[in-house]
Structures are given as C-alpha cells and as structure tokens.
Amino acid sequence: MCGRYTLSTKADVLETRFHAALPAEPVAATYNAAPSQALLTILNENPHEMTRASWGYVPAWAAGRPDAKPVINARTESVATKPYLATV
C-alpha cells in the first residue's frame, strides 16, 4: 500500500460505491492521509460498514515499546535480511 493518499469524495458517493455505511461522526476531506491517522476502512469482519483504522506492522517483540513505529512498506527482496528499526 502507498504511504499517502487523498480522500475528497462526498460521503453519499462513498456509501453508494462501496455498499457500506459511514460511521456516525462526520467525514472530512483529507488531502494528505497518512498511515498513522485513523482513516476510513472497510474490514472483512463487517464489509457493510466503514470504520476508522490506521495501518502498519509492529513485530510482536516491539509491541508496547514507546519508540516502536509501525512499518508500512517493506521490500520483498530484502525483508528477510535487513533489520527492523523500531525507532521513531
């Protein structure tokens, strides 16, 4: 997934396009959506409802560390050989 995107589509158009209800709180346009923000997401557990979520991967050994920063991209050819740097 890319690191940033723009979301400026009107709420009713999103609901129609994805056949999913939006959350109760208002949806504001964002022109620099980042992985650390809680953004509209459709999850497999409830595909007819949009919820807010952030994305990234934090290894189990780094969970709970205040300096752990979620990884959003990794190169397939080097993910097994390069270290994961958990610092912010």
Domain edges within the chain:
5-55, 57-88
Q: Look up the pTM and report it.
A: 0.66
Structure tokens at 73: 């991209």
Note the pLDDT tens digit of each residue in 29-75. 999 988 888 889 999 999 999 999 888 888 787 878 888 878 887 78
Q: Which residues of 70-83 are buried (b: 16+ CB within 10 A; e: fewer)?
A: ebbeeeeeeeeeee
Q: How confident is the model at residue 88 (pLDDT cuts 50, 70, 90)?
A: very low
Contacts of 15 (CB under 8 A, 6+ apart): 21, 22
Overall average pLDDT of the 15-36 stretch: 91
Element (H, E) at 15: helix 11-18
Handedness of CA 52, 34, 60, 63 (dihedral sign): negative
